[in-house]
Amino acid sequence: MTMAASPVTAEELRIVARDGRSLAATRYAAACDVDRVVIVNGATGVKRGFYDRYARFLAENGFAVLTYDYRGIGGSAEGSIHAEVCDMRQWGEVDVASLIDAAARLYPGKRLLAVGHSVGGQLFGLADNNALVDAMFAVSAQSGYWKHWSGPPRWYLALLWHVLMPGLVWMLSYFPSRRIRFGEDLPAGVAREWARWCRHPDYLVDREGCPLRKHFARYRGRIRACVVTDDWMAPRAAVEALMGFFVVAQVEIASLAPADAGARALGHFGFFREAGRPAWRESLEWLQRQ
């Protein structure tokens, strides 16, 4: 059962990460008391404002919601992108973990939940405190290893990870994601690590190539992983591969076709746009049941 919609306030915050870095965040809440808090972990290079409508929808229905920008992105960028010193592992081990810390501090005793979009569902498994989160609703969260794809996308991604991304980062000292509609431009360290991960069969690995699985393997909560059927960026094989990292979690994998949301197309981003609104109800009800 859903609650009647309530007026929502959006408050801009600065979250001090574990290493002292300041992260931009937005807190959404209605006037009513809440007993559940949702942390939205966004996709690579996607600013938190992209999730505004979805966050307001959850808040209207009784949740407190925190959205935020990873370091080097949007409001969490500091100075020139050429001067940003960060990588994707920090996004998970420090930024995601710091938002979980902040949610627990801002809402003591409340139940914590997560929504992970694409890399947001991946990085959740790197946070050493993810056990504080009871459940995650993951949308298009996949292993990025290029051989999980087939046909032309496989060869496009092979070219991207092996040649284009490393080469452009070497020339420009950042990756110009905006030009290929991959989100915000990426700091060099983020892009280099992303490409290195996507070239490796185990995907999330340290610099020696050892899999980063410790906190994936310890997570015992529930996960609903949503495969969007027209999303070429997150095919079922790649989603299933990532979910296999969560060896003791209670994982369910579900398909979402554009027709289920009353839309012609959803792709990698459409769930969180207006086109995906009809599908939000299912995610709301799943989160309410946790």
Residue 62 lies in a domain: yes
Cα dihedral across residues 281, 218, 119, 153: positive or negative: negative
Residue with tokens 């905006």: 178
Residue 187 lies in a domain: no
pTM of the model: 0.95
- Which domain range does residue 275 map to? 8-145+210-289
DSSP secondary structure letter of residue 43: -
Q: What CATH number does the domain containing 265 carry? A: 3.40.50.1820
- pLDDT tens track of the chain, all 290 residues? 444 556 899 999 999 999 999 999 999 998 677 899 999 999 999 999 999 999 999 999 999 999 999 999 999 999 899 999 999 999 999 999 999 999 999 999 999 999 999 999 999 999 999 999 999 999 999 999 999 999 999 999 999 999 999 999 999 999 999 988 788 999 999 999 999 999 999 999 999 999 999 999 999 999 999 999 999 999 999 999 999 999 999 999 999 999 988 888 999 999 999 999 999 999 999 999 99
Residue 195 lies in a domain: no
Count of structural domains, the chain: 1
Please write the tens of the pLDDT for every residue from 5-19.
568 999 999 999 999
Residue 135 lies in a domain: yes
Residue 151 lies in a domain: no
> What SS3 class is residue 286?
helix
Angle formed at CA 43 by CA 39 and CA 46, multiple of 5 degrees: 100
